Chains A and B, each alone.
Chain A
Amino acid sequence: MTEFFDPPPERDLPARQVTRMRAELLSTISRPLRRPTRLRVAVVAATAVVAVSAVLLVARPGLPGAEPSGGFELVAMGPSELSPTLHRSVEQCLDWNAQEPLHTENSAERGDASGGGQPDGASWPAVTVDDLAVAAQRDDTAALLFLTEAGYLTCDVRLRAGREPTGGLGGAAHWPQRDWLPGPVQWLSLGSTEPDGGDVTVSGRISARVHRLVLEHGDGGSTTSRLASGVFGLVTKGAEVNQNAELVSYDADRNEIDRRLLFQGDRGLEHCYVDPSGQIVYPPTTGEDEPKLEPALAADCRPAERWTSSG
């Protein structure tokens, strides 16, 4: 039946694209498990933050800005802590972002398939290096988080000698939930070397009552996150983080105040969260692959926690 809202006729995928896509997919899934010399970013999500302090060289202490010759990891909490390689990563991300045709809040202009449901997720903000909140690096791959007054930008970038940089951007130019967290902690950028596991790179936001944040790997190991100005960042090295990994938040008295699965995160909120007026700030979702069709009831929600860059 022909209807007034019929789409155009179907088209074939161009043959060369089929070949390319198939080759890339097979090459990607064929990656051997856990080969330390070849880092794979498996998942990278959204962003936030504001900055501060010093470079953390995980497992290999050194001077800020120094880069060991072999594989290494570091977390820089702001532009003042950037290593030379992270500087190049930041420049690459800024360059990509500048090439984006629009920095608009109109999702329709960008063909946002989420339509009217996500007016916040329309596009990415224009950012500068001063907006950098967290930069996390493992070997030749970096995950960056920029935070502006209204939105955020995430960028993952892989720089290899003699090869074209690869990576991607994410974020929102307008972010209605900027002032609120779904509980004490919210990751915004998550990278892993294996699907839901391996070594991970995580950054995000914390509320003022979080004084310590630990990633429990799920195999008995753990990694303590760096915290600064309402933001956290962590990188694991040689870890066996698994699907049961949890982010555990502690208050100033070392009491555990929150525990949540890392690989559920804010993309798969089990609960909804409301602000003090009872308005739902974060509706529940079931993750990136599962539909959530039923509306949330505010009465069943948990309190959202206010976020400020002062932590």
Chain B
Amino acid sequence: MTTRLHPSDQELWSALAGGDEAAFGQLFERYARAVYNHAFRLCGSWSVAEDITQATFLVAWRRRGEARLVDGSALPWLLVVATNTARTEWRSARRWRALLRRVPQEWEAHADPADEVAGRLDDERRMASVLSAVRRLPRAEREAVALCLWSGVPYAEAAAVLGISEVALRSRVSRARARLARIFSTDNRQEQ
């Protein structure tokens, strides 16, 4: 028997559909960082982003038979799941944590270096500022910005997972850009 060191997402997902927990672990390692950062950009909190990330992968496991891989990549679907988790379920992400079997506290025994903590606080302040404007967009446009501009999912792949046309998605992003320009312009004038 041969073992592939770098199985494709499609291979991982096929194994996942069959209940392969090792494949799930590999998928988590492959995409946890991307989901985590995507979640942060949606909620503006690194700690909530952790909860959303875990909830996303739990949903992925539960719905492994329903996932839509686009061009062989699981990432767009995972990011859409994360988006929906963040949108309607961020509080319940805490509840999802309740169902996670807790590991011993020793895992958390090491403190963050001070500069890392300070950097993350700066991130949260910066993100809060960005989100204060982005949250004024219609939800569909807001999520299009997060998916395509911030997380870099190609338009075609994002459109396929969202179930809309690529033209419609590009239009949302375009409208969002225009709206954001107006919002920032107005805000800057008011500050001056």
Tell me the A residues contacting B by CB distance below 8 Å: 3-8, 10-14, 16-31, 40-45, 108, 111-118, 121, 154, 156, 158, 166-171, 195-196, 267, 285, 288-291, 293
A286: nearest chain-B partner, CB-CB: B84
21 chain-A/chain-B pairs, Cβ below 8 angstroms: A5-B134, A5-B184, A7-B130, A8-B122, A13-B53, A21-B50, A21-B53, A22-B29, A25-B25, A28-B58, A43-B99, A111-B45, A111-B90, A111-B128, A113-B43, A115-B131, A156-B98, A168-B92, A288-B85, A289-B84, A291-B143
Complex Cα distance, B120 from A14, in Å, reads: 11
In the complex where A44-B95, A44-B98, A115-B139 touch, is A267 in contact with B88 (Cβ < 8 A)? yes
Contacts of A112 in B (CB 8 A): 43, 90
Tell me the B residues contacting A by CB distance below 8 Å: 21, 24-25, 28-29, 32-33, 36-37, 40-46, 48, 50, 53-54, 57-59, 61-63, 80-81, 83-92, 94-103, 107-108, 110, 112, 119-120, 122-123, 126-128, 130-136, 139-140, 142-143, 145, 149-150, 162-164, 177, 180-181, 184
Which of B25, B42, B149 sits near A113, CB closer than 8 Å?
B42
A29 touches B21 (CB 8 A): yes
| Most B Cβ at <10 Å: residue of A42, A45, A113, A285 | A113
A109 to chain B, nearest CB (A): 10
A141: nearest chain-B partner, CB-CB: B98
Contacts of B122 in A (CB 8 A): 8
B63 to chain A, nearest CB (A): 6
Contacts of A115 in B (CB 8 A): 131, 134-135, 139, 142
- With A3-B149, A27-B103, A115-B142 known, 13 other A-B pairs at CB within 8 A are A7-B41, A11-B123, A20-B107, A20-B108, A21-B50, A25-B100, A111-B90, A115-B131, A115-B135, A267-B88, A285-B88, A289-B81, A291-B83
A15 to chain B, nearest CB (A): 9
In the complex where A8-B127, A288-B84 touch, is A14 in contact with B112 (Cβ < 8 A)? yes
A137 to chain B, nearest CB (A): 15
B80 touches A168 (CB 8 A): no
A293 touches B84 (CB 8 A): no
Contacts of B98 in A (CB 8 A): 41, 44, 156, 158, 166-168
B135 touches A28 (CB 8 A): no
Contacts of A285 in B (CB 8 A): 88
B63: nearest chain-A partner, CB-CB: A289
In the complex where A21-B54, A113-B86, A114-B87 touch, is A28 in contact with B101 (Cβ < 8 A)? yes
A-B pairs under 8 A by CB, number: 178
In the complex where A114-B87, A288-B89 touch, is A196 in contact with B62 (Cβ < 8 A)? yes
B133 touches A5 (CB 8 A): yes
Contacts of A11 in B (CB 8 A): 37, 40, 46, 119-120, 123
Which of A7, A14, A195 sits near B62, CB closer than 8 Å?
A195
What 5 pairs between A and B have smallest CB-CB spacing? Answer: A115-B135, A168-B95, A113-B43, A8-B123, A113-B86
B146 to chain A, nearest CB (A): 9
B101 touches A170 (CB 8 A): no
In the complex where A114-B87, A170-B92, A289-B59 touch, is A23 in contact with B99 (Cβ < 8 A)? no
In the complex where A24-B102, A115-B139 touch, is A4 in contact with B184 (Cβ < 8 A)? yes
A25: nearest chain-B partner, CB-CB: B57
A167: nearest chain-B partner, CB-CB: B98
| Most B Cβ at <10 Å: residue of A154, A166, A290, A293 | A293
Contacts of B59 in A (CB 8 A): 288-289
Contacts of A195 in B (CB 8 A): 62
Which of A3, A13, A170 sits near B33, CB closer than 8 Å?
A13
A40: nearest chain-B partner, CB-CB: B99
